[in-house]
Amino acid sequence: MKKYLMTPGPTAVPERVLLSQAAQIIHHRTGAYREILGEVIKDLKYVFQTKNDVFILGSSGTGAMEAAVVNLMQRGEKALVVKGGKFGERFGEICEAYGVEIEAMDVEWGDAVSPYEIQKALARDNDIGVVFVTLCETSTGVVNDVASIGRIVKETKAVLVVDAISALGSVEIKTDEWGLDVVVAGSQKGLMIPPGLAFISVNEKAWAKIKANVKENTCLPSYYLNLTKTRESFLKTDHPFTPPVSLVLALKESLAMIKEEGLERVLARHRLLAEAMRAGIKALGLQIYAKSPSDSVTSVKVPASVDGLALVKKMSEEYGITIAGGQGKLKGKIFRIAHMGYADRFDVIIALSSLEMVLKKMGAKVKLGAAVKAAEEILI
């Protein structure tokens, strides 16, 4: 049975990227590697839409989230954490692990955060040093209005940290235009490479805060994730620690693909696929879970008559399609289909086709072909 990976990370890796990893390792402290690293950083800035520093970390996306917390927060300061799903909550967990006081902005799962609420919170509490928000909340399929949040936070002394892990390369993120001080991302999502690399962009406002923390010795402790040390190395087109070389080679290849297609067309493709997916879902009489749905992943409420866990299992075992179920309190209640990174029209068709068949087999009232038809009307 052919296998199709349609989870919101890790995502499918294009063949030419897979093969690029099979090149023999080159030492990272050679001219040959430095040339690759320089090119990769330049291309990452293109995807981040930024002139800011962009660094590569050898970790999962969570490592970059932690890097943002430990470098930006100072002891005794407060963090405003937008919690509207598992990954927003993770920022809170990291802060708590370091003893940082947080003001939690609890958003109903499935809803986007109101930028106005962030504005009010910042006006109310002058101790907030950093705002942590998720662009695409993978666990709920919600996209937040980070452009507006950027405009708001820019007017304050607070620094804005955006988790764009499930967004970069698939959902618009204008780092500089929107005034996003720090943006974190991961490799195994829109960037179409295997997991193992994380990325973080840092602008001048954020550096000013980090430098003040260092100067006043109010930093949280860090070593592997220390951005000051990381910056020193990247200024010399180097890494502070041995980097995952084969993944950097893969990244070079995937960034070449993104440049060939053009970032605008990449993002337009994601919008089209997401629209087709949502039309298909609705044509089956199902409901999109996210009120403000992301173009990288579609979250769908499991119909009352169907066992959500069994649905995900059947998709995989009987049709070879790996999708994701719900996490945490959404377990069994939603399923999530990604159309992120190396995804094209027929991936949407495949996902909807298998969904129709599985739902039918599970006794749901669906008309075979209805979702595919609705999607085709958009994809034509």
| Residue 245 sits in the site that holds a copy of itself (CB under 8 A) | yes
| Residue 170 sits in the site that holds a copy of itself (CB under 8 A) | no
| Residue 97 sits in the site that holds a copy of itself (CB under 8 A) | yes
Structure tokens at 148: 């507006």
Considering only 115, 129, 141, 196, the residue that binds a copy of itself (CB under 8 A) is 196
Query: Of 163, 157, 156, whose CA–CA distance to 113 is shortest?
Result: 163
Considering only 43, 53, 66, 347, the residue that binds a copy of itself (CB under 8 A) is 66
Rg (CA), the chain: 21
Residue 168 to residue 184: CA distance in whole angstroms = 9
Residue 372 to residue 379: CA distance in whole angstroms = 10
| Residue 241 sits in the site that holds a copy of itself (CB under 8 A) | yes
Query: Of 103, 108, 111, 201, whose CA–CA distance to 158 is shortest?
Result: 103
| Residue 93 sits in the site that holds a copy of itself (CB under 8 A) | yes
Considering only 41, 98, 145, 360, the residue that binds a copy of itself (CB under 8 A) is 98
Structure tokens at 206: 């954020």
Q: How many helices (H) and strands (E) does the chain have?
A: 13, 14
Q: Contact region for a copy of itself (CB under 8 A) — 147-155, 166-174, 190-198, 365-373?
A: 190-198
* Neighbouring residues of 235: CB distance < 8 A, sequence distance ≥ 6: none
CA 252 distance to own-chain centroid: 19
Considering only 52, 59, 203, 254, the residue that binds a copy of itself (CB under 8 A) is 59
Residue 244 to residue 364: CA distance in whole angstroms = 46
Taking CB under 8 A as the criterion, which residues in 262-321 touch a copy of itself?
316
Map residues 19-58 to x or -, x wherever contact with a copy of itself holds by CB under 8 A: x-xxxxxxxx-x---------------------------x
Q: By CB under 8 A, name the binding residues for a copy of itself.
A: 3, 5, 7, 9-13, 18-19, 21-28, 30, 58-63, 66, 93-94, 97-99, 186, 188, 194-196, 220-226, 241-247, 250, 316, 322
